[in-house]
Chains A and B, each alone.
Chain A
Amino acid sequence: MALEALQKIQSHAGYVSDAALNQLAIALGIPAGELLGVISFYSELRAAPPGRHRVCVCHGDSCAAMGAHHIAESVESYLGVAPSQTTPDGQLTYEKVYCLGNCALSPSIAIDEDVQGRCDCDGVVQQLKRFQKIKDA
């Protein structure tokens, strides 16, 4: 049941903190190390706080066939971070994902849970700018 419990913690807190992990280990009677093993196995689980928003660029086969690497390059150069990193202002976490189930409208990205299809580099960067604006305002 460890996975489900960790998912619940993350859906409330955004990540699984050391404190939460230790508490859960005691509650379930399993070593904390084993829970850490579960967290490291699943790419969706995080042991560190994420940014306020999340931008995922799909690198699945279909999106790759439609130039996903150009989108990724634009995002990386605009945000100045590598995959799985968060911008210094804590606004955006950038992630690589493998298929959003939107392959007939590749290339795709997702901003939080909002999937977007037939993306182009400029359009994606424009949207990221909006997040910066929210921050400035």
Chain B
Amino acid sequence: MPDVFLSQDTSSRSIGAREVEIALRTELVRRGGSRLVLTGSRGAFFLEPLVEVEIGGVRVGYANVRSEDVAGLLDNGMLEGRPIEPFYIGAVAEAPFLRGQERITFRNCGVIEAGSLTAYLDAGGGVALRRALFEFDALKIIAEVKHSGLRGRGGAAFPTGAKWQTVADCVADEKYVVANGDEGDPGTYADRMLMEGDPFALLEGMAICARAVGAHKGFIYVRAEYPRARTMLQKAVEIAHGAGFLGADILGSGFAFDVEIRSGGGAYVCGEETALLESLEGKRGMVRPKPPYPATVGLFGRPTVINNVTTFATIPPILRQGGEWYAAMGTGRSRGTVALQLAGSLRTPGLVEVPFGVTLRDVINTYGGGVPVGRQLLAVQVGGPLGDLLPESGLDLPIDFDAFTDIGSMLGHGGIVVYDDHTDPLQLTHRLMAYVAHESCGKCAPCRLGSQRAAEILESIRKGEGQPGDLQILDDIAFAMRGSSLCALGAMAPTPVLSAIRLFPDSFGVGALRHFAG
């Protein structure tokens, strides 16, 4: 009997995969025995719940299955891989959405049993850690990471190897490795997919880092909104412990490393690395001035590597296949692959892992399927709620950290949200600014007060009560926020608002705009 695979990640369950699992389990037992393997998602969410059956080494898929379809599918030969309409999509890896992707960081997501160490090791997991423990010294590990050109996937795109080097060079009684699983940018879900679908990749990446910098204690900070990720990680840590992949003497190497899972408290700013450290120390998540950077003065004042979850999960393949192999993909100073998360008004949104260098337009059209029929694209926001708004004419931008910085925006964590003509630009900017006002940690006056005032002005314009000088005031606030904010929350917040005023002058009132011209 062939194996049957089904995703149980939060998104799949949000459209019925839980019910499909129950139905499948009952029917498979009744019909005497295919194994049901529960995986994370491949990120083609528009196909979920997606049941896969392995026929002669190839996994064929049945998409958008509901629990009430299960018995019929089995009656009609799903276990033999029969093409049953309208569910059958053929070989899953050849589906148009997945075929062109380069899955490296997400190689296991949706493919192997989630949370099974055996499955992880069978898929090549653990090889990199053994190399880091028995073959390479710290210098060599860091050299490979540097060669890979890997830059942080959490937002700031800082070179990972250089960060590790700084921590390795520090002399301290204790050092820490912290995984940032706060994934605060609305519109992003890559870290969640990894934590739920491939938790051992994160743990392996952290252990390799610990070995490289000489740390023995790690923390994973998981946002409060991700209870399933937290549970999955907790289990994975216990399993890894039991198997000697974590603990006092990892795989008999004499090297000790332990990981603890911590929950966030529902504050966006806690994704910022220094606020996250404050939060890990149990305090209010207030941003610390930098320098000193966490690499020298971090958690409890000790040298600390803090990397994003996706960054850590990319380490094992780099160490296994070599930094040069990874660096061979990409463009400019953005090497390797990037996990783009499509969201908003698209026909087929999902997770797309491709080498850096493709254009935004290509990603939106080829993978995202464009905006739904009957809708017009209004703007695309890349890099989270602080990212710039790009019009249709700006979509030829290559997916490259520096190309985005050059236009005053950011690629950030790789979130791409598409707005269509049902979105009111004024409502959009008001919502973004109100969000910043809500999430500001309050340390800098321009961010705390400016965002509040800007949100009020946008609201009054939206209500048709705008005053002639409003846009000038917005511009002044933007200037103050950009110039004197401690972190990107305040400094970047005006970016999408100013773009919206430029892109949609009519919405903001032409009279008022004339005043803004300067």
Are A97 and B225 in contact, CB atoms less than 8 angstroms apart?
Answer: yes
- Rounded to whole angstroms, the CA-CA distance of A60 and B263 in the bound complex is 20
With known contacts A43-B267, A101-B183, A115–B13 Cβ distance under 8 A: yes
Query: How many residues on the B side are at the interface (Cβ–Cβ under 8 A)?
Result: 58
From residue B187, how far is it (CB to closest CB) to chain A in Å? 4
Q: Which of B30-38, B130-138, B342-350, B487-495 contacts A (4 or more CB under 8 A)?
A: B342-350
Q: Which B-chain residue is minimally distant from A59 (CB atoms)?
A: B431
With known contacts A42-B267, A103-B189, A65–B284 Cβ distance under 8 A: no
B284 touches which one: A37, A63, A101 (CB < 8 A)? A37
Are B341 and A44 in contact, CB atoms less than 8 angstroms apart?
Answer: no
Are A62 and B11 in contact, CB atoms less than 8 angstroms apart?
Answer: no
Q: How large is the interface on A (under 10, 10 to 19, 20 to 34, 35 or more residues)?
A: 35 or more
| A85 interface residue per 8 A CB criterion | no
| A2 interface residue per 8 A CB criterion | yes
With known contacts A44-B224, A65-B345, A97-B225, A103–B187 Cβ distance under 8 A: yes
With known contacts A3-B283, A41-B265, A99-B185, A64–B428 Cβ distance under 8 A: yes
With known contacts A101-B10, A104-B45, A65–B344 Cβ distance under 8 A: yes
Q: Which of B165-173, B419-427, B505-513 contacts A (4 or more CB under 8 A)?
A: B419-427
With known contacts A7-B265, A98-B435, A102-B189, A117–B14 Cβ distance under 8 A: yes
- Rounded to whole angstroms, the CA-CA distance of A115 and B48 in the bound complex is 14
Are B265 and A115 in contact, CB atoms less than 8 angstroms apart?
Answer: no
- Rounded to whole angstroms, the CA-CA distance of A104 and B340 in the bound complex is 12
- Rounded to whole angstroms, the CA-CA distance of A63 and B384 in the bound complex is 13
With known contacts A44-B266, A113-B227, A62–B417 Cβ distance under 8 A: yes
- Rounded to whole angstroms, the CA-CA distance of A52 and B422 in the bound complex is 36
Q: Which B-chain residue is minimally distant from A60 (CB atoms)?
A: B186
| B226 interface residue per 8 A CB criterion | yes
**Residues on the A chain within 8 Å of B14, using CB:** 102, 105, 108, 115-118
**Residues on the A chain within 8 Å of B266, using CB:** 42-45, 97
| B46 interface residue per 8 A CB criterion | yes
- Rounded to whole angstroms, the CA-CA distance of A24 and B490 in the bound complex is 34
| B418 interface residue per 8 A CB criterion | yes
| A67 interface residue per 8 A CB criterion | yes
Are A101 and B192 in contact, CB atoms less than 8 angstroms apart?
Answer: yes
- Rounded to whole angstroms, the CA-CA distance of A103 and B345 in the bound complex is 10
- Rounded to whole angstroms, the CA-CA distance of A122 and B81 in the bound complex is 37
Are A62 and B265 in contact, CB atoms less than 8 angstroms apart?
Answer: no
A103 touches which one: B343, B419, B420 (CB < 8 A)? B343
| A4 interface residue per 8 A CB criterion | yes
| A61 interface residue per 8 A CB criterion | yes
From residue B287, how far is it (CB to closest CB) to chain A in Å? 12
B15 touches which one: A4, A66, A105 (CB < 8 A)? A105
- Rounded to whole angstroms, the CA-CA distance of A63 and B431 in the bound complex is 12
**Residues on the A chain within 8 Å of B8, using CB:** none
| A93 interface residue per 8 A CB criterion | no
Q: Which A-chain residue is minimally distant from B422 (CB atoms)?
A: A67
B282 touches which one: A1, A65, A101, A103 (CB < 8 A)? A1
Are B268 and A61 in contact, CB atoms less than 8 angstroms apart?
Answer: no
Q: Which A-chain residue is minimally distant from B286 (CB atoms)?
A: A41
Q: Which of B148-205 contact A (CB under 8 A)?
A: 183-189, 192
| A20 interface residue per 8 A CB criterion | no
Q: Which of B273-295 contact A (CB under 8 A)?
A: 279, 281-285
B186 touches which one: A2, A7, A43, A103 (CB < 8 A)? A103
| B381 interface residue per 8 A CB criterion | yes
User: In this complex, which of B11, B46, B427 has the most chain A Cβ atoms within 10 angstroms of its Cβ?
Assistant: B11
Q: Which of B334-365 contact A (CB under 8 A)?
A: 341-345, 349-351
**Residues on the A chain within 8 Å of B281, using CB:** 1
| A79 interface residue per 8 A CB criterion | no
Are A104 and B265 in contact, CB atoms less than 8 angstroms apart?
Answer: no
**Residues on the A chain within 8 Å of B262, using CB:** 4
- Rounded to whole angstroms, the CA-CA distance of A97 and B439 in the bound complex is 12
With known contacts A3-B279, A104-B349, A105-B15, A65–B46 Cβ distance under 8 A: no
Q: Which A-chain residue is minimally distant from B13 (CB atoms)?
A: A115
Are A104 and B225 in contact, CB atoms less than 8 angstroms apart?
Answer: no
With known contacts A62-B187, A64-B431, A2–B282 Cβ distance under 8 A: yes
B341 touches which one: A2, A64, A104 (CB < 8 A)? A104
Q: Which of B202-220 contact A (CB under 8 A)?
A: none
Are A99 and B188 in contact, CB atoms less than 8 angstroms apart?
Answer: yes
Q: Which of B391-450 contact A (CB under 8 A)?
A: 415, 417-420, 422-423, 427-428, 431-432, 435
| A100 interface residue per 8 A CB criterion | yes
From residue B132, how far is it (CB to closest CB) to chain A in Å? 30
With known contacts A1-B282, A105-B15, A117-B15, A65–B420 Cβ distance under 8 A: yes
Contact indicator per residue, chain A 105-120, by CB within 8 Å of chain B (1) or not (0): 1101010011111100
| A38 interface residue per 8 A CB criterion | yes
From residue A58, how far is it (CB to closest CB) to chain B in Å? 8
Chain A interface (Cβ < 8 Å from any Cβ of B): 1-5, 7, 37-38, 41-45, 58-67, 69, 97-106, 108, 110, 113-118
Knowing that A66-B344, A101-B188 touch, tell me 7 more A-B residue pairs with CB under 8 angstroms.
A1-B282, A2-B283, A41-B285, A62-B344, A102-B14, A108-B14, A117-B11
20 examples of A-B residue contacts, CB within 8 angstroms:
A1-B281, A3-B282, A38-B284, A41-B285, A43-B265, A61-B187, A61-B432, A62-B187, A63-B186, A65-B420, A98-B186, A98-B268, A99-B188, A102-B10, A103-B415, A103-B417, A106-B343, A115-B11, A115-B13, A117-B14
